Amino acid sequence: MKTTRALAALRALCALQLRPEVLVPALLEALHTLVPSQRNLFDWTDAQGRLVRYFIEGPVDAEIARLYFTEFHNRREAEAMPRFDTLRSLPAGVRSAEELNHPGFFRSALYNEIWRPQGLHTRLEGVLRSRCGTLLGSLVLYRGPGERPFNPRDEQLLAAVLPAFAAALQAHGVAQADDRHVPSPDAPESLLLTLDGALCHASPGAERLLLLADGGLTPDRLAHPLPVVRVPLMAWLLARLRERAAAGAAEVLAPPPSLVHENGAGQFVASGTLLRARSPGEAPLAQVTLRRLEPHRVALERCLRGLPLTPGQLAVCRGLFEGQTHGQIGQQLGVATATIIDHVRKIHDALDLRSSDELRQLLSQRMAVA
């Protein structure tokens, strides 16, 4: 994707007035189109540079996370790089990857015990502050061993998106009661438990998703994890499955219990299946499937990023998808209706469509299979 299109798409995402916990995953994903990376991270901080919570793409290695927070965070990491809380004294802007590109860092315990086991080798960091200078957090892009090092051009591109991101973190709206949600592109995660809540097996991203569904990733939650049975979402499901096990054959045809849970990070769907033992005397197990949902608006932006259109044409697509007239779109964008009509013609030609109804159908189909 061209730089101008990628920047426009990121700024459009920031203009949706999403709650921060919903905006951050969407922005980290879209950021790959501007500055390619292996995985991205955002740390929310307070004004003094203390870590409040964070979001990282991909599975969380709970053991490595606990090691970092108990031994390295604001402690031993100072042997290799500035302590996390030094963020409080940094201006808004980009911290170059060159700061850590030296043999001493690659020999450090931080790199070899925390970074390297996760496939992380180098990082580019953006410090975000509010309009009045209050620290908001830190945006970090990681690349792995053998990948191209971050360069000054990457730093410029990251710097270009930071103002819109910082503004969006401050100007977010409240949750919309009619904000339709659809499954996110993240794969569903699975857990296998006893009916008492003892965890037997889990898919790689299950613990991370369960933490997000129960308040987010925080230093305390990673350093001192709650037993699965004490997570309210899981407690409810396990209670329903114990009832089903006690009812025996009477509940065989009943649909699996499921629950839609909503918090600041969005909506999560959890469903439970009772797995009965084949051998007499063996206890049944519970299989729980957990999936994150995202606002329909976020899914639409992802689909729009995949279209071979200019930023202006994409803005028109948003209006057409919402059912706006050419005149309404022109008024919203501050251009003449004739300009909108010309954009629509070019959109139809580029996508081989005959009408705006076909455009809406195309976008809906792509969102359904994302």
In the chain, % helix, strand, coil (3-state, to 5) comes to: 50, 20, 30
Q: Say if residues 295 and 266 touch (Cβ distance below 8 Å).
A: yes
Q: Give span(s): CATH 1.10.10.10, the chain.
A: 307-368
End-to-end CA distance of the chain: 18
Q: Give span(s): CATH 3.30.450.40, the chain.
A: 3-170
| Interatomic CA distance for residues 277 and 254, integer angstroms | 18
Amino acid in the structure at residue 76: R
Q: What is the pLDDT of residue 179?
A: 79
Q: Say if residues 328 and 319 touch (Cβ distance below 8 Å).
A: yes
CATH topology of domain 183-294: Beta-Lactamase (3.30.450)
Tell me the pLDDT of the chain (370 aa) as tens digits.
789 999 999 999 999 999 999 999 999 999 999 999 999 999 999 999 999 999 999 989 989 999 999 999 999 999 999 999 999 999 999 999 999 999 999 999 999 999 999 999 999 999 999 999 999 999 999 999 999 999 999 999 999 999 999 999 998 655 555 678 999 998 999 999 999 999 999 999 998 999 998 888 999 888 777 788 888 889 999 999 999 888 876 555 678 899 998 888 889 999 999 998 888 888 999 999 999 999 999 999 999 999 999 999 999 999 999 999 999 999 999 999 999 999 999 999 999 999 999 999 999 998 887 6
Token pair belonging to 216: 């987010």
Q: Is 4 exposed, middle or buried (0-12, 13-18, 19+ CB in 10 A)?
A: exposed
Pick the CATH number of 3-170 from 3.30.450.40, 3.30.70.360, 3.30.930.10, 3.10.310.10: 3.30.450.40
Q: What is the pLDDT of residue 177?
A: 56
Residue of 155, 165, 237 lying closest to 196 (CA atoms): 237
Q: Give span(s): CATH 3.30.450.20, the chain.
A: 183-294
CATH number of 307-368: 1.10.10.10
3-class SS of residue 248: helix
Q: What is the pLDDT of residue 135?
A: 97
Contacts of residue 51, defined as CB under 8 A and 6 or more positions apart, other chains included, come to 43, 44, 45, 73, 84, 219
Q: What is the pLDDT of residue 370?
A: 64
Q: What is the pLDDT of residue 7?
A: 96
State CA 17 to chain mean position distance.
16
Question: On the CB side of 130, how many CA atoms lie within 13 Å of its CA?
Answer: 12
Q: Are strands 51-56 and 285-295 parallel, antiparallel or unpaired?
A: unpaired
